[in-house]
Amino acid sequence: MENTKDLTEHTSRAERKRRDSFGMFDGYDSCSEDTSSSSSSDESEEEVAPLPSSLPIIKNNGQVYTYPDGKSGMATCEMCGMVGVRDAFYSKTKRFCSVSCSRSYSSNSKKASILARLQGKPPTKKAKVLQKQPLVAKLAAYAQYQATLQNQAKTKAAAVPVEGFSWGNYINSNSFTAAPVTCFKHAPMGMCWGDISEGVRVEVPNTDCSLPTKVFWIAGIIKLAGYNALLRYEGFENDSSLDFWCNICGSDIHPVGWCATSGKPLVPPRTIQHKYTNWKAFLVKRLTGAKTLPPDFSQKVSESMQYPFKTSMRVEVVDKTHLCRTRVAVVESVIGGRLRLVYEESEDKTDDFWCHMYSPLIHHIGWSRSIGHRFKRSDITKKQEGHFDAPPHLFMKVKEVDAAGEWFKEGMKLEAIDPLNLSAICVATIRKVLADGYLMIGIDGSEAADGSDWFCYHATSPSIFPVGFCEINMIELTPPRGYAKLPFKWFDYLRETDSIAAPVKLFNKEVPNHGFHVGMKLEAVDLMEPRLVCVATVTRIIHRLLRIHFDGWEDEYDQWVDCESPDLYPVGWCQLTGYQLQPPAPQSSRDSQSSSSKQKKKAKSQQYKGHKKMTSLQLKEELIDGEEYNFLQGASDQESNGSASYYIKQEP
């Protein structure tokens, strides 16, 4: 009788909370027309229809589970996210799928306690308070994430949906592949994407439903394209008729178990509602052993979209009209880590410059003076009210170099990406050696008499290369303007100009395991118009150097970009951050390109002056073996993700 009483008590509790083990309706016929507000979710005011209360419930550690057969139910591992039958889980509390997860969670709780203190939260008893309130923690993280999305919506000045373009349709119709999120360490979730892959299950809104309230169902990832995932509702098997694309970091995507803890109903899609008579048993079978998102996934998304740069911060940034110097600019807005900087002297705030917060083109106030770089002094003698200098620690740090021994010298020759034409790698000269490893570079044959088009690269920059790099990797090297002795030969040119090549061993030789492959799709900044983020494709890979093609445009607008450039983003980045994506040029534009190519190129070259030394570009490679170097052929287009080497023979 006592057991019956407990059962009855649990049953009535289930009726009040209106949910079952998966927060799931038994079927449409069981739904009442009356609705009432969910009592277990603070983030939604939606009304939920009453659910049947014929099943026993067990409440454990803040989470409610209903056993379909009265004996076994589902549980989600709080460490790895594995879904399985609760009775098979480890320990009495059934919170973990294995001993290793239990131990890992225990060690992580210490980190959680430290984090709580840093966030100004009251101290916990060995972090147990955080563990005992998973629902509260999830709701708080979700609320914070929603607030972040709302704040970003207010700042997205250009965030207008692009009519007619859909990444999902674009990828499906052409069988494209997209670069994985892990290729972009600077992007949200780039460092903590984990093993999210095909087969992972999530809880998503059920759009195939006639109910007046918002309900959910479980779906599996069929294909990943950056942040975007092609999902298929559980129960559709090989039927792709209702497959849909969504951003996996969106606010409506949740790990399995979220509905149960949040009081949200799980309802099978109308198309297949009569396919099974026992949907709970079906889910138990399908979800056992399946992977889902980590419980704190939405919190990680929110944290990875917090940016240290704030509006009104003052920085030094390249002068877009004179690349050889910097100017003071003020952060006007921050979208997805990209900064809209307004030059301090711009009264109407129209003289601006866009770059990522990790761009090597921006520096703390006082940087130019510290290294001997040219600087345009502002006519404004005092800081405007509310403006303040950005702390130096916010800027990307460059690697320390040892310039005490053999080092770069003025007059040395090298190859460099032209900041005014990013599709070209040109013959270049070191014009000045600054402090801390910085160099002023000039493009041979096209330099201004006053040196106003020199540009600054660090010695470790992936935008400069040793003599012979292009020849080895079968890249067209742009000779000095007006140079008549073609084809260009470095040996002859060095002898004619009485100059020497910069030693190969001084260049950066690191090639990270970047993960890019030819043909991958991504979203990339047009560095000649850096406010634009466009649909793009990787068309060549030379070690760490990527050739980026803007879909729908001619190859002359391609740009050489380093694999770690902060101006490259995963598919879906614009949607996630609220930035406007530029779709591929329409067919009419493509047809007119050939006839107006010269005009466009001229207009584009005028825009170049407004832009930078292309922080985001390029590469470094090679490995020297002593003082003698030999050409290695066949190194072109290699998708090398490891340490690569090339050798250059210096003829006598």
> Per residue, what are the HEC states of 39-92?
CCCCCCCCEECCCCCCCCEEEECCEEEECCCCCCCEEECCCCCCEEEHHHCECC
3-state secondary structure of 588: helix
Output the pLDDT for position 382: 65
Say if residue 582's pLDDT is above 70: yes
Both structure tokens of 126: 């060995």
CB of 252 within 8 A of CB of 263? no
Please give the C-alpha separations between residue 324 and each of 448, 453, 457, 623, in angstroms, as whole numbers: 11, 6, 11, 30
**Who wins on pLDDT, 201 or 155?**
201
Say if residue 588's pLDDT is above 90: no
3-state secondary structure of 246: strand
Please state, as a whole number, how many other Cβ atoms lie within 10 Å of the Cβ of residue 71: 10
Please give the C-alpha separations between residue 327 and each of 22, 154, 344, 451, in angstroms, as whole numbers: 58, 28, 8, 17
64-78, 98-112, 445-459, 489-503: least confident range: 64-78
- Ramachandran sector of residue 63 (left: φ over 0; alpha: ψ -120 to 50; beta: rest): beta
**Who wins on pLDDT, 309 or 585?**
309
Say if residue 616's pLDDT is above 60: no
Output the pLDDT for position 449: 83
CB of 179 within 8 A of CB of 538? yes
> What is the helix, strand, coil percentage profile of the chain, to 5?
25, 25, 50
Both structure tokens of 274: 């009569």
Percentage with pLDDT > 70 across the chain: 66
**pLDDT-based confidence at residue 73 (cuts at 50, 70, 90):** low
Please give the C-alpha separations between residue 55 and each of 15, 70, 107, in angstroms, as whole numbers: 10, 7, 36
**pLDDT-based confidence at residue 348 (cuts at 50, 70, 90):** confident
Instruction: Quote the distance between the C-alpha of residue 538 and its chain's center.
Output: 16
Output the pLDDT for position 139: 46
**pLDDT-based confidence at residue 75 (cuts at 50, 70, 90):** confident
The most confident of the ranges 75-84, 218-227, 607-616, 617-626 is 218-227
**pLDDT-based confidence at residue 367 (cuts at 50, 70, 90):** very high
**pLDDT-based confidence at residue 94 (cuts at 50, 70, 90):** confident
**Who wins on pLDDT, 444 or 56?**
444
Say if residue 156's pLDDT is above 90: no
**Who wins on pLDDT, 23 or 499?**
499
90-94, 245-249, 371-375, 430-434: least confident range: 90-94
**pLDDT-based confidence at residue 377 (cuts at 50, 70, 90):** confident
Average of per-residue pLDDT across 136-162? 47
Tokens 């178990």 identify what position? 257
Average of per-residue pLDDT across 364-384? 86
- Rounded to the nearest integer, the mean pLDDT of the chain is 77
On the 0-12 / 13-18 / 19+ scale of CB atoms within 10 A, 485 is exposed
20-29, 390-399, 512-521: least confident range: 20-29
**pLDDT-based confidence at residue 135 (cuts at 50, 70, 90):** very low
**pLDDT-based confidence at residue 143 (cuts at 50, 70, 90):** low
* Identity of the residue numbered 157: A
Percentage with pLDDT > 90 across the chain: 58
Output the pLDDT for position 88: 65
Output the pLDDT for position 499: 96
**Who wins on pLDDT, 117 or 430?**
430
The most confident of the ranges 3-17, 229-243, 628-642 is 229-243
**pLDDT-based confidence at residue 163 (cuts at 50, 70, 90):** low
